[in-house]
Amino acid sequence: MKKIKISILLLFISLNSYSQTVIKDTQTKDIVPDAYILNKKGQLIGESDLNGVILLFSKYKNYTDSLVIKHIAYKPFLSTGKELQENKTLFLEQRINKLPEVTVTADYDYTVIKGYFRSYQINNSIPTYYTDGIVEYYIHKKEKKRVKSRLLNNRAYKNNDYLEKEKKRSLMMTYETSGVFYYANFWLPYRKSDYFFDKSTIHSDTVIVKNDDKENVGKAFVDKKNGRTVVFYDCLYPKKEKKRSLFGYTTIRKGMTFSEFLNTSDIENAHISNLNSCKLSNQFEYKHKKEKDFTRIEQIDEFYVLEIRKESKKEVKKKRLKNDYGFGPTLNKENMEWLKDYKEQIPPLDNSIKKQLGKQLILF
């Protein structure tokens, strides 16, 4: 049996507009792109596009049961498929998470961002991996230097039954896209070479996001009243899908999107210290040339900032930084109390995912 294990980010799925139902901000009435929709089994069944229009995957286009709409910058919205069919507009309430002010001094070397990460992976509608934890990112003031990190606490779960069945395939490639992700590469204020705000729109309420080919790939919605900005951009746009082959496998990327929530309305001078939260949505399908059907993978990664501080090079040298990214085992299975310390700052895990922990998903 040939087993190839690849832990890389690939992607995505066909979508259907759902009666043109649009998601908007309750206060500003701005559209809300990149909200994601989970059914009662914790399966990802759709999302909202660049114009805030709800799109459901083809398999769920007639779904009428209970669901939840989630977004990093907004409170969860409980609804049903039937309600989506009957309403043209849904309004989400802003999630407020004010972080303490960060004092920038001349002698600092690193911005340290401490936060909570949450990542789950679904294979063919089956929850397969889940992990969350507390991680610190060390970002040098000379932003071109490599970002360092330190994993403080975590939980990791696997669907052992599903993975054992996968091992029985004569040819197997395992994708572990869930894990502690390298978020610093995707925060827009940091990744200026790949994505940037269009300067001609920088002072408007809706700012255009461009890629390095100067194509319009997203938008930033600026809320000057509340001093916040919600950013969305599509890393695949304007292409609808991208196909590649490796070792007899074909992988079809259907899309890759990012959302960011910044604690500032001055995005012209936005800094990494303004980050409140960010999210990656990743979907793709793959199969071997000898197989008939594709395996579909859906992944959602979220990161919520808990604390931002400044440290000198001398302080950072005292710490052991390992850059632990990807899916790894639970650091301390005997102590799971760490999550309670941040209960007020972290949006609750959806019940449809929570009830899988310890049952279908086993602590690793």
Q: Are 121 and 297 in contact (CB under 8 A)?
A: yes
pLDDT of residue 202: 87
pLDDT of residue 84: 83
Mean pLDDT of the region 116-129: 89
Per-residue pLDDT tens over the stretch 280-309: 888 888 888 888 888 888 888 999 999 888
d(CA 305, CA 291): 43
Per-residue pLDDT tens over the stretch 331-351: 888 888 888 888 778 888 888
Confidence of residue 6 (pLDDT cuts 50, 70, 90): very low
Which residues, 6 or more positions from 85, have their beta carbon under 8 angstroms from its beta carbon? 18, 19, 21, 64
Mean pLDDT of the region 56-75: 85
pLDDT of residue 55: 85
pTM beyond 0.75, yes or no: yes
* Residue reference for tokens 């992700």: 181
d(CA 92, CA 205): 19
pLDDT at residue 173 greater than cutoff 50: yes
